[in-house]
A and B are shown apart, each in its own frame.
Chain A
Amino acid sequence: MTNRLPAAVRESIPPALGIAICFLLVPKLAAPTALESIASWMPMLWLLAIGQLLVIVAGAVDVSVGSILGFATMALGMFLKTHPDAPVALSFAVAAGVGLVAGLINGAIVGYLKVPPLVTTIATLASFRGLAFMVSGATTITGSVVSDSVTNLASKGVPIGSYTVPWILIFAILAALAMDFAVKSLPKLRSVYAFGSNAEGAFRRGISSSSIYLLVFGLSGLFAGFAAVAYLSRFAMAAPGSAGVGLELSAIAAVVIGGAKLSGGTGRIFPVTLGCLFLSVLNVSLAVIGVGADWQLLVFGLFLLAALGANRTADPSKNSSSATGSRKAA
């Protein structure tokens, strides 16, 4: 317990600082339209980052989540084409199911075929993108297809004063709270932390690497499926070649900014949430101050680098040099 609080605080500082700096430099962010814009950005990234966090805690990385999102979005779009009256729960189930299966495929390849996580997900990044084309017949999902039940998730919600908290944001908040509880209380998820901290030791305790990889990549895919619903609710359209492209970078960046150790074993939902908020704020700030679309990739690359720098300072264990000196004199 004693170690928990400082670490959580320590990991929250870089993203919190980033948010503060954005608001200081771009006062217009406080305007209601900007805030709404942030709120509409946030859920998709947040859901992706929660899934990514668990993968990184296990000491791996999942760069295929953008493509899983694209695949799930196109699958959901095609489903809505034939079932325009489907209830929103069913939409969630379809996207989540597609995402889960895709994630389990990643997990099985890493866990059972022993292909390194990065290589696996680079490969499936391409493969799932191909599936997005296949499932949609390379056509675009247009606004007329996306049912109101889905778009309402982003446009309607619980009013708080003059402001409306969109349903999809509420869903993301609940998902984050549930995961926060789960990573602290579910034995299986504690095993993920043990595995990420020391894979060899975890093996000796009967924690099998295959089941861990299946779990974390499965969850990552599941959350990418949820994020697909957020995507479709926000944009009300989707093209197989663009839906979710590059979002894996944002998700990884959010987790990195949120102070999760890249070698695995640590990582908390709350700081990562702040990391997502920061990226959302940053995105809106750039739009507010009029940075063009051409610049976005460049700025993003710079920020991912900055995030890596911030992660380094947030993790003191990384700066201590060699392991040989760790033992104190008798």
Chain B
Amino acid sequence: MNTVPVIDARGISLEFNGVAALKGVSIQLQAGRVHALVGENGAGKSSLAKVISGLYRPTRGELTLLGRQVQFASPLKARQAGVSLIHQEPTPFPDLSLAENIFAGSVPRRLGLVDRKAMLERAGEIFAEIGLQRSPTELAASLPIADQQLLELAAAMAQELKVVIFDETTAPLTPNEVDRLFGIIDRLKERGVAIGIVSHHLHEVFRVADEVSVLRDGALVSSGPIGNYDRDSLIRAMVGRDVKSNSHQSSSHQPSSYHPGQVQREVVLRVEGLSGKNFADCSLVLHAGEIVGIGGLVGAGRTELLRAIAGLDKPVAGSVELGGEKVKFSSPREAAQSGLVMVPEDRRHDALLLERPIRENVVLPILRRLANRFGFISRKVEVEMAERETGRFSTKMAGIDQPVGELSGGNQQKVVLASRIAVGPKILLLDEPTRGVDVGAKQEIHDHIRSLAQEGVAILMVSSDLPELLAISDRVLVMAAGTIQGELSGERATEEGVMSLAVAR
């Protein structure tokens, strides 16, 4: 290793309002190598990626690019120096053409004016290079997420690219799209680009990474060539304690709360031929005390199906029966009144009042129930309720009057679950209940889902996390292209089984 690293970050510390996000982290990115950053939620992976790409300025420490010390004043400066970050959720400009998307903020100029011709040509070249089959003149409004990511990469490549960091980019992609992305990463490697990857998916890390660095609580705890690690040692380094990883569990744990044929359980939910935007003719049955998983690729229509059942979107055809009675919910409120509650996937956007206290978040769905006949709520009753519901989980908080936005992702998710469970649902719809949640909290959430089922709650859960799906579902429905492709249970419920149905079309 006598070559000069492309990026050499030394002793990087980052603080927000006195809270340390990074504590003296040092890391090197080499030309033509893929360096993975792994760690639990809040470990500082994304913060480090953002420091390197100029989005955050480090409180202490120095950054050198090809041996020269740099301090990026802005993401644009970093990009111009050849350092780019591909975000988890790309943010295209929907009203602009793809070409303008690529060059926004740094358009090619001639005589100080926009050089439209050069812009379109260059965009076309880049698209060809990364295999994005789109016209540079079309609008970005309707681009699927995978293409949005490629658009971001294209924008990065509009400058001379030296370093690119992918921040959780594979999370929303289908396997084909992941393959395409990894193919592009290989090509970038050949061109000598230094690549960073932030990922929760360890199998992907083992697939593409040359080096790996493990962060925990903002500090670098382990670093080295990928060959020095295996899955377990990596997980041990990440959590700093011995926790059974989920994959272990999926092999050892057998769902026990429900055994078809042994006990006749009441049917609580019957969906018949339900169709809507991005899903068609879906039928399913849910029994009391049962956990049914819905597997499939992102974009298979799973979330849409759940939303339609929960009354968030209107189905165009089909019926939903609750306890034998046909229902047509026009809002989540009506659904909740009938005992059906949904936990949405994106908690910050769809479930939490971030600046309001935990207490108000927890009791929001049951305010009306707590109120007297004039609509007033006793503070004592409210506090008791909030404490009881948050007490179901070991939520780490300063108190129930702390704003929920100050909690970590895992604890926020616990607050969301607590608030929905407070409703006392008969049917609970969960959409990616542990997305972006650290290993410890994940475990706790899984335990809780199981105990709810044992209490007789029927649970329908969408999850893209295959080990999770298989570990806690009694049976698994697999969706692809908007329809239910099949049902797996018992021995047939394997990762391979789910995937083969998920890619059915």
Seen from chain A, the residues whose Cβ lies within 8 Å of a Cβ on chain B are 1-3, 184-187, 190-191, 193-194, 196-198, 200-207, 261, 265-266, 317, 321-322, 324-330
Interface string of B35-49 (1 = CB under 8 A from A): 000000000000000
CB<8 Å pairs between A and B, sample of 13? A3-B137, A187-B107, A187-B109, A198-B94, A204-B75, A207-B76, A207-B104, A265-B95, A317-B141, A324-B303, A325-B278, A325-B313, A329-B301
> How long is the Cα–Cα vector from A321 to B277 in the complex, in angstroms?
10
Looking at the complex, which one of A191, A193, A321 makes contact with B95 (CB distance below 8 Å)?
Answer: A193
Looking at the complex, which one of A186, A203, A205, A324 makes contact with B113 (CB distance below 8 Å)?
Answer: A186
B300 touches A198 (CB 8 A): no
Looking at the complex, which one of B74, B135, B297 makes contact with A330 (CB distance below 8 Å)?
Answer: B297
> How long is the Cα–Cα vector from A3 to B137 in the complex, in angstroms?
8
Interface string of B64-93 (1 = CB under 8 A from A): 000000000011110100000001000111
A203 / chain B contacts, CB cutoff of 8 Å: 75
**Residue among B137, B139, B298 with the highest chain A CB neighbour number at 10 A:** B139
> How long is the Cα–Cα vector from A266 to B114 in the complex, in angstroms?
18
> How long is the Cα–Cα vector from A271 to B55 in the complex, in angstroms?
39
**Residue among A198, A328, A330 with the highest chain B CB neighbour number at 10 A:** A330
What's the minimum C-beta distance from A105 to chain B, rounded to whole angstroms?
Answer: 26
A325 / chain B contacts, CB cutoff of 8 Å: 277-278, 304, 313
The count of chain B contact residues (Cβ–Cβ below 8 Å) is: 48
B63 interface hit (Cβ, 8 Å): no
Question: Do A194 and B105 form a contact, CB below 8 Å, given A1-B137, A206-B74, A330-B299?
Answer: yes
A186 / chain B contacts, CB cutoff of 8 Å: 112-114
B114 / chain A contacts, CB cutoff of 8 Å: 184-187, 190
B278 touches A202 (CB 8 A): no
What's the minimum C-beta distance from A206 to chain B, rounded to whole angstroms?
Answer: 2
B313 touches A321 (CB 8 A): yes
A187 / chain B contacts, CB cutoff of 8 Å: 107, 109, 112-114
> How long is the Cα–Cα vector from A201 to B112 in the complex, in angstroms?
23
Interface string of B251-291 (1 = CB under 8 A from A): 00000000000000000000000000110000000000000
B104 touches A190 (CB 8 A): yes
A190 touches B137 (CB 8 A): no
A1 / chain B contacts, CB cutoff of 8 Å: 137
> How long is the Cα–Cα vector from A207 to B55 in the complex, in angstroms?
13
Smallest Cβ-Cβ distance to A184: which chain B residue: B114
A328 / chain B contacts, CB cutoff of 8 Å: 144, 278, 299
Smallest Cβ-Cβ distance to A199: which chain B residue: B91
B297 / chain A contacts, CB cutoff of 8 Å: 330
B481 interface hit (Cβ, 8 Å): yes
Question: Do A190 and B92 form a contact, CB below 8 Å, given A2-B138, A326-B142?
Answer: no
B96 interface hit (Cβ, 8 Å): yes
B300 / chain A contacts, CB cutoff of 8 Å: 329-330
B97 touches A206 (CB 8 A): no
B106 interface hit (Cβ, 8 Å): yes
B154 interface hit (Cβ, 8 Å): no
Looking at the complex, which one of B92, B141, B304 makes contact with A201 (CB distance below 8 Å)?
Answer: B92
What's the minimum C-beta distance from A225 to chain B, rounded to whole angstroms?
Answer: 25
What's the minimum C-beta distance from B407 to chain A, rounded to whole angstroms?
Answer: 23
> How long is the Cα–Cα vector from A201 to B94 in the complex, in angstroms?
10
B216 interface hit (Cβ, 8 Å): no
A193 touches B301 (CB 8 A): no
> How long is the Cα–Cα vector from A204 to B113 in the complex, in angstroms?
22
A329 touches B104 (CB 8 A): no
A329 touches B482 (CB 8 A): yes
B307 interface hit (Cβ, 8 Å): yes
Seen from chain B, the residues whose Cβ lies within 8 Å of a Cβ on chain A are 55, 74-77, 79, 87, 91-97, 100, 104-107, 109, 112-114, 135, 137-139, 141-142, 144-145, 155, 174, 176, 277-278, 297-301, 303-304, 307, 313, 480-482
B106 touches A205 (CB 8 A): yes
B91 touches A201 (CB 8 A): yes
Query: For chains A and B in complex, what number of residue pairs have CB atoms within 8 angstroms?
Result: 115
Question: Do A198 and B278 form a contact, CB below 8 Å, given A326-B142, A329-B482, A330-B297?
Answer: no
What's the minimum C-beta distance from B116 to chain A, rounded to whole angstroms?
Answer: 8
> How long is the Cα–Cα vector from A329 to B481 in the complex, in angstroms?
5
A329 / chain B contacts, CB cutoff of 8 Å: 278, 299-301, 480-482
> How long is the Cα–Cα vector from A165 to B489 in the complex, in angstroms?
81
> How long is the Cα–Cα vector from A261 to B139 in the complex, in angstroms?
15
Smallest Cβ-Cβ distance to B108: which chain A residue: A187
A194 touches B75 (CB 8 A): no
B137 / chain A contacts, CB cutoff of 8 Å: 1-3
B91 touches A200 (CB 8 A): yes
B91 touches A194 (CB 8 A): no
Smallest Cβ-Cβ distance to A185: which chain B residue: B113
> How long is the Cα–Cα vector from A207 to B104 in the complex, in angstroms?
8
A324 touches B307 (CB 8 A): yes
What's the minimum C-beta distance from B211 to chain A, rounded to whole angstroms?
Answer: 27
B138 / chain A contacts, CB cutoff of 8 Å: 2-3
Smallest Cβ-Cβ distance to B175: which chain A residue: A330
Which 3 A-B residue pairs are closest in the complex by CB-CB distance? A206-B76, A205-B105, A265-B95
A201 / chain B contacts, CB cutoff of 8 Å: 91-93, 104
What's the minimum C-beta distance from B29 to chain A, rounded to whole angstroms?
Answer: 20
B75 touches A3 (CB 8 A): no
B55 touches A194 (CB 8 A): no
Smallest Cβ-Cβ distance to A206: which chain B residue: B76
What's the minimum C-beta distance from A190 to chain B, rounded to whole angstroms?
Answer: 6
**Residue among A193, A204, A205, A325 with the highest chain B CB neighbour number at 10 A:** A204
**Residue among B92, B93, B298 with the highest chain A CB neighbour number at 10 A:** B93
A330 / chain B contacts, CB cutoff of 8 Å: 174, 176, 297-300, 480-481
What's the minimum C-beta distance from B56 to chain A, rounded to whole angstroms?
Answer: 12
B96 touches A194 (CB 8 A): yes
> How long is the Cα–Cα vector from A330 to B93 in the complex, in angstroms?
23
What's the minimum C-beta distance from B405 to chain A, rounded to whole angstroms?
Answer: 18
A326 / chain B contacts, CB cutoff of 8 Å: 142
A185 / chain B contacts, CB cutoff of 8 Å: 113-114
> How long is the Cα–Cα vector from A184 to B115 in the complex, in angstroms?
10
> How long is the Cα–Cα vector from A265 to B104 in the complex, in angstroms?
13
**Residue among B75, B114, B298, B300 with the highest chain A CB neighbour number at 10 A:** B114
B176 / chain A contacts, CB cutoff of 8 Å: 330
What's the minimum C-beta distance from B167 to chain A, rounded to whole angstroms?
Answer: 12
What's the minimum C-beta distance from A328 to chain B, rounded to whole angstroms?
Answer: 6
> How long is the Cα–Cα vector from A197 to B482 in the complex, in angstroms?
30
> How long is the Cα–Cα vector from A204 to B301 in the complex, in angstroms?
31
B104 touches A205 (CB 8 A): yes
A265 / chain B contacts, CB cutoff of 8 Å: 93-96
Smallest Cβ-Cβ distance to B483: which chain A residue: A329
B55 touches A204 (CB 8 A): yes
A197 / chain B contacts, CB cutoff of 8 Å: 93-96
B112 / chain A contacts, CB cutoff of 8 Å: 186-187
Extra pairs beyond A327-B298, A330-B299 (15, CB < 8 Å): A187-B107, A190-B104, A190-B114, A193-B100, A194-B96, A198-B91, A198-B92, A201-B93, A202-B105, A203-B75, A204-B87, A206-B77, A207-B76, A265-B94, A328-B144
B139 touches A3 (CB 8 A): yes
> How long is the Cα–Cα vector from A190 to B176 in the complex, in angstroms?
35
B299 touches A204 (CB 8 A): no
> How long is the Cα–Cα vector from A317 to B140 in the complex, in angstroms?
13
What's the minimum C-beta distance from A104 to chain B, rounded to whole angstroms?
Answer: 22
> How long is the Cα–Cα vector from A269 to B186 in the complex, in angstroms?
46
B109 / chain A contacts, CB cutoff of 8 Å: 187
B105 touches A191 (CB 8 A): yes
A196 touches B95 (CB 8 A): yes
